[in-house]
Amino acid sequence: MRWRSEPLWLIGAAALVAAVLVVLNLGALGAVVWRAEGSASLSSADWSALRFTMVQAAVSALVSVALAIPVARALARRRFAGRGALVVLMGAPFILPVLVAVIGLLAVLGRNGIVNEALVWLGLPRFSIYGFHGVILAHVFFNLPLSVRLLLQGWARIPGEHLRLSSALGFGAVARWRHIEGPMLARVVPGALTVVFLICLTSFAVALTLGGGPRATTLELAIYQAFRFDFDLGRAALLAAVQAGVGLAALLALARFTLPEGASTGMDRVAPAPPGGLAKGLDALAIALAAAFLLAPLAMVVIKGLPAVVGLPAVVWWATLRSLVVAGLSVVLLAVFAAALTAASLTRKAPEALGMAALISSPLVIGTGLFVLANPWIDPARLALPVTALVNAAMALPFALRALVPAARRAEADFARLSAALGLSTAAHWRLVLWPRLRRPAGFALGLGAALSLGDLGVIVLFAQTGSETLPMQMHRLMGAYRSGDSAGAAVLLLALSLGAFVAVERLVGGRDADA
């Protein structure tokens, strides 16, 4: 239902953003197809790669979101010293570069990791992380933080009045689940599942490294091979199209199962005290287990790398500066993209779906496609940094929209009639009604965008030239030159920078109490 007409410039801006995204996704794929010669077909190995890709992504999504429910609930209703810091730190695995996270994970769960040392000490057999379970474990490590944050936002949108009423009515855990938490989760969980599924769909380094061999071949690896060793662009495009098709199917399923926000207005009152006793103990356990699982590997990364940070070569610091510039540019672009599409999606479904579409494209295809598009016009090396910022913004957009759109729709459902009845102008409606309710998710979204951009290696590789290295590239370079000590130092720098940027942007945009 529409309670006010949208200004034309807003629709124009949204259409422009949509056009950029379409060019980025379809244009890149189209450019690859255009450069391809001849036709291609899927081999039996490709079919098994497709099967493995879908199964691991589905299992990773289910496990991540299922585990996130008790953790998010515990974090949503408990208040304790250091809670804000814990929420931020627990989000770190998601923004870490894959290679750093895997090393941290192995320091805890690898052959000589803490867990195996403990098992040996207890006289138990060693645990091997390599295999299907290792892939899932790593994907849960990456995506549990994101799932927790997405669900936390769901909990944050439950009006305090509902909780007060339920406690006044003497609701037990079951009744509260049935009437308040269950309906909220039914709205939030499908989106979270889809996002994690889409992220895991394009995974390949983690899957291959921890999967133990070619059994764990994903479509992204097959695309990589088609591009680089076979130089078979037709095959690469076909595989990329199959991968995008799977992602699209997941998005369509999401659209089908997304429930509309009902009008259940709250007046932003404080929630009542949560239940104590057993519930309190279980909440503490959920938080402690999740914190141990997510923070121990991070601690290992820091312990290994911290001594090397001071002695890092100057080129690493220059790369750091370059990464910060790219991240800054990327956040600005993300803010524009997200604002336009959020505004446009108050009354439509399409903009959100379009924003999510960035997740279904293979980063490799986007990078190559943009290279093909740019090459006849301009030396691609000149575009390395702006293109990175643009692609980073597009890649972060789905997460931003996941955070912003439900909150905006909720606010619109709650207050649009009132605001229209009061005769507020569009500007005043945004400033007084929507912005206070969007500020926190916006802070989260842009903070995430900054952190993801800092950690991204992705598309820049084909474009690179001396003098355009970013920090993640420089870290890989150190690692590729036997310098694992310096590389560990660069990893700590990257971790600190990503977390710092996330917190700074989130606080700046979201306000001081922006922790959920």
Partner 1 sequence: MTHPTFATGLLAACALAVPLMANAQTPQLRVLTYDSFIAEWGPGPQIESAFEATCGCDLVFEAAGDAAAMLARLMLEGARSDTDVVLGLDTNLTAAATEAGLIAPHGLTPQLDLPVAWDDPLFVPFDWSWFAFVYDTTRVATPPRSFADLIDSDLSVVIQDPRSSTPGLGLLMWVKAVYGDQAGAIWQGLAPRILTVTPGWSEAYGLFLEGEADMVLSYTTSPAYHIIAEGDETKAAALFDEGHYMQVEVGGIVAGTDQPELAAQFLAFMTSDAAQALIPETNWMYPAVTPEGGLAEGFAALPRPEVSILLPADEAQALRDPALAEWRDALAQ
Q: Is 14 or 457 the residue whose CB approaches partner 1 more closely?
A: 457
Q: Is 486 or 506 the residue whose CB approaches partner 1 more closely?
A: 486
**Length reported for the chain:** 516
Task: Please answer whether residues 141 and 504 qualify as being in contact, where contact means their C-beta atoms are separated by less than 8 angstroms.
Answer: no
- Amino acid identity of 272? P
The least CB distance from residue 28 to partner 1, in Å, is: 13
Residues interacting with partner 1, by CB under 8 A? Answer: 35, 45, 48, 99, 102-103, 106-107, 110-112, 130, 204-205, 208-215, 217, 221-222, 224-225, 227-229, 231, 313, 315, 368, 371-372, 375-379, 381-382, 461-462, 464-466, 473, 476-484, 487
The least CB distance from residue 114 to partner 1, in Å, is: 13
Task: Please answer whether residues 103 and 301 qualify as being in contact, where contact means their C-beta atoms are separated by less than 8 angstroms.
Answer: yes
Q: Is 277 or 480 the residue whose CB approaches partner 1 more closely?
A: 480
Q: Is 45 or 428 the residue whose CB approaches partner 1 more closely?
A: 45
3-class state of residue 380 by DSSP:
helix
Task: Please answer whether residues 227 and 364 qualify as being in contact, where contact means their C-beta atoms are separated by less than 8 angstroms.
Answer: yes
Q: Report d(CA 433, CA 487) in Å as an integer.
A: 47
Q: Could you write out the DSSP letters of every residue in 227-281?
A: HHTS--HHHHHHHHHHHHHHHHHHHHHHHHHPPPPP------PPPPPPP-THHHH
Q: Is 63 or 312 the residue whose CB approaches partner 1 more closely?
A: 312
**CA-closest candidate to residue 167, choices 155, 180, 156:** 180
The least CB distance from residue 477 to partner 1, in Å, is: 5
Task: Please answer whether residues 205 and 98 qualify as being in contact, where contact means their C-beta atoms are separated by less than 8 angstroms.
Answer: yes
The least CB distance from residue 148 to partner 1, in Å, is: 28
Task: Please answer whether residues 486 and 313 qualify as being in contact, where contact means their C-beta atoms are separated by less than 8 angstroms.
Answer: yes
Please give the distance of CA 374 from its chain centroid, rounded to a whole number.
28
Task: Please answer whether residues 140 and 290 qualify as being in contact, where contact means their C-beta atoms are separated by less than 8 angstroms.
Answer: no
The least CB distance from residue 503 to partner 1, in Å, is: 29
Q: What value, to the nearest 5°, has the Cα angle with vertex 287 and ends 281 and 290?
A: 135
The least CB distance from residue 484 to partner 1, in Å, is: 5
Question: Taking every pair of C-alpha atoms in the chain, what is the biggest distance, in angstroms?
Answer: 73
Q: Report d(CA 516, CA 14) in Å as an integer.
A: 27
The least CB distance from residue 170 to partner 1, in Å, is: 55
The least CB distance from residue 296 to partner 1, in Å, is: 15
Q: Is 67 or 100 the residue whose CB approaches partner 1 more closely?
A: 100
Q: Is 479 or 493 the residue whose CB approaches partner 1 more closely?
A: 479
Task: Please answer whether residues 506 and 449 qualify as being in contact, where contact means their C-beta atoms are separated by less than 8 angstroms.
Answer: no
- Amino acid identity of 482? Y
Q: Is 26 or 462 the residue whose CB approaches partner 1 more closely?
A: 462
